[in-house]
């Protein structure tokens, strides 16, 4: 475990920063200050004793501990300051300008041959404009397992990034033009994230893509988990209250679950036929994401779609086609050029997509016998965490611990039901 942490230098600062946020939100300032002071005094006393005994580790661990304590104090002080002043997310002038631009970009969507609710779905899917989306439509998408499509997330940013990268194929990755290509891609994905409202999931995807692009451009070794930690750390430094945003939690848990489970699930079957392998890969990604987010969805929403795994592939297929086509349509109309074939294609795809979601959304969802409490959620994720440790390390004690926490979860569900 220590070796894994050394390979990912952002893991420890992220954990300390998370602790600081939680302490600041749930513990009074006076108690936190006294606690940190006692820890510092204890560390000073312990350091003197270790120096007298001439520890083999020297002073390396002391500097590391003081650094982490300083980061913890900085985190607590920063969050307390934000709580005291105004912790709400503020909008800069440039972001307000982006929101005005978003409303202007909605005009070409009104020219499409679609009903009003389908136009609202398309506006939400491409530009993140959810103000006019009805609650019944959101519920329909949720029951179909496609609610994530209505929130601009890493999927949308990834589709836009892939489309732009395809358009910029003349700029070779092996020449110095790769720097120009990287800059254009970075500006484009952040502009897209800003226009769509800077949702936590979109910012997460933009950060991760930015770090990935920088690593590829300067040809440095990349690590997915370290990129995940660095992205979370940067976002929480900018706005600590992202931690309590549902989109932030679901997005980061889904990505972390995909990192760990996707390759393991996909490798269960060695498929060479691309017509079978590609659907299987999509299914593996969807299943991996839901392993990490399933408990959280039950906790927040009390239900989850029973057909989300089956609907994942067609929903993703339609979205991959609709998002680029709709964005190209918007740009062309704004330039004064109305392309009728593109008009017909975008309208037909959106109409077919909405009809598919409307039909599949009539299937009854999965609901637990009893609503999950915070303690139950904590027990489920501890069980899942130690199960991941067991899958990776193959130590029996991890499996026993995972089963223990799952037993506690089952007992909590039984007690809740009886009472």
Phi, psi of 308 (to 5 degrees): -65, -35
Query: Looking at 12-26, 37-51, 400-414, which range is the least confident one?
Result: 37-51
Banded model confidence at residue 369, pLDDT cuts 50, 70, 90:
low
Q: Taking Cα atoms as reference points, which of 319, 331, 350 lies closest to residue 112?
A: 350
Contact 265, 284 (CB under 8 A): yes
Mean pLDDT of 74-94: 71
Banded model confidence at residue 56, pLDDT cuts 50, 70, 90:
very low
Q: What are the angstrom distances between the C-alpha of 296 and each of 242, 257, 339? A: 16, 13, 44
Query: Which tokens hold the place of 159?
Result: 């589709």
When the pLDDT of each residue in the chain is averaged and rounded to a whole number, the result is 81
What angle (nearest 5°) sits at the alpha carbon of residue 99, between those of residues 254 and 124? Answer: 45
Contact 149, 315 (CB under 8 A): yes
Distance CA(295)–CA(282), nearest Å, equals 21
Q: What is the pLDDT of residues 204-263, one digit of tens each?
A: 888 888 888 888 787 777 778 888 898 899 889 888 888 888 888 888 888 899 999 998
Distance CA(145)–CA(301), nearest Å, equals 13
Banded model confidence at residue 383, pLDDT cuts 50, 70, 90:
very high
Taking only Cα atoms into account, the Rg of the chain, rounded to an integer number of angstroms, comes to 24
Q: Give the residue, 89 or 382, on which the prediction is more confident.
A: 382
Query: Which tokens hold the place of 410?
Result: 């089952």
Contact 115, 278 (CB under 8 A): no
Distance CA(161)–CA(168), nearest Å, equals 10
Q: Is the pLDDT of residue 57 over 50?
A: no
Distance CA(227)–CA(9), nearest Å, equals 10
How far, in whole angstroms, is CA 10 from its chain's centroid? Answer: 17
Q: What are the angstrom distances between the C-alpha of 260 and each of 172, 225, 385? A: 32, 9, 11
CB atoms within 10 A of CB 3: 6
Phi, psi of 39 (to 5 degrees): -65, -40
Q: Is the pLDDT of residue 64 over 50?
A: yes
Distance CA(54)–CA(56), nearest Å, equals 6
Q: Taking Cα atoms as reference points, which of 351, 317, 328, 295 lies closest to residue 146?
A: 317
Number of H helices, E strands in the chain: 17, 0
Q: Return the SS3 of 151.
A: coil
Mean pLDDT of 78-104: 71
Q: What is the pLDDT of residues 167-209, one digit of tens each?
A: 887 777 677 778 888 888 898 888 888 888 777 778 888 888 8
Q: What are the angstrom distances between the C-alpha of 303 and each of 113, 158, 216? A: 34, 28, 40
Distance CA(331)–CA(238), nearest Å, equals 32
Q: What are the angstrom distances between the C-alpha of 70 and each of 6, 63, 66, 190, 273? A: 20, 10, 6, 32, 54
DSSP-assigned letters across all residues of 1-63: -HHHHHH-TTHHHHHHHHHHHHHHHHS-HHHHHHHHHHHHHHHHHHHHHHHHTT-TTTTHHHH
Residue count of the chain, please give it: 419
Q: What is the pLDDT of residues 108-162, one digit of tens each?
A: 888 888 888 888 888 888 888 877 778 778 877 877 777 777 777 778 888 888 8
What angle (nearest 5°) sits at the alpha carbon of residue 71, between those of residues 382 and 293? Answer: 30
Distance CA(352)–CA(350), nearest Å, equals 5
């Amino acid at each position: 475990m220590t070796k894994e942490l050394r390979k990912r230098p952002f893991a420890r600062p992220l954990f300390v920063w998370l602790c600081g946020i939680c302490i600041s939100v749930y513990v009074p300032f006076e108690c936190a200050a006294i606690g940190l002071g006692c820890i510092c005094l204890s560390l000073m006393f312990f350091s003197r004793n270790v120096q007298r005994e001439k520890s083999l580790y020297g002073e390396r661990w002391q500097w590391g501990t003081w650094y982490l304590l300083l980061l913890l104090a900085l985190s607590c002080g920063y969050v307390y300051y934000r709580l005291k002043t105004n912790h709400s997310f503020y909008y800069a002038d440039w972001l307000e300008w982006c929101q005005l631009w978003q409303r202007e970009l909605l005009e070409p969507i009104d020219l499409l041959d679609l009903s009003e609710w389908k136009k609202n779905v398309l506006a939400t899917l491409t530009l993140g404009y959810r103000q006019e989306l009805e609650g019944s439509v959101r519920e329909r998408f949720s029951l179909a397992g496609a609610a994530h499509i209505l929130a601009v997330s890493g999927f949308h940013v990834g589709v836009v990034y892939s489309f732009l990268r395809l358009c910029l194929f003349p700029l070779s990755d092996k020449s110095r033009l790769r720097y120009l290509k990287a800059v254009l891609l970075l500006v484009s994905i952040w502009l897209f994230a800003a226009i769509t409202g800077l949702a936590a999931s979109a910012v997460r995807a933009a950060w991760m893509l930015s770090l990935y692009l920088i690593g590829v451009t300067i040809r440095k070794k990349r690590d997915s988990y370290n990129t995940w930690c660095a992205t979370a750390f940067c976002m929480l430094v900018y706005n600590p209250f992202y931690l309590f945003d549902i989109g932030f939690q679901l997005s980061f848990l889904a990505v972390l679950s995909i990192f760990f489970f996707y390759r393991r699930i996909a490798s269960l079957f060695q498929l060479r036929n691309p017509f079978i392998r590609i659907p299987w890969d999509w299914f593996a990604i969807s299943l991996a994401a839901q392993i990490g987010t399933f408990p959280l969805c039950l906790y927040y929403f009390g239900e989850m779609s029973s057909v989300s795994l089956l609907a994942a592939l067609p929903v993703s297929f339609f979205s991959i086609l609709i998002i680029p086509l709709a964005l190209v349509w918007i740009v062309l109309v704004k330039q004064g050029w109305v392309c009728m074939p593109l008009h017909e294609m975008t309208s037909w795809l959106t109409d077919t997509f909405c009809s598919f979601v409307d039909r599949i959304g009539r299937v009854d969802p999965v609901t637990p016998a009893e609503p999950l409490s915070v303690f139950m959620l904590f027990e489920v994720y501890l069980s899942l965490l130690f199960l991941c440790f067991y899958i990776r390390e193959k130590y029996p004690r991890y499996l026993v611990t995972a089963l223990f926490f799952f037993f506690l979860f089952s007992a909590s569900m039984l007690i809740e039901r009886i009472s």
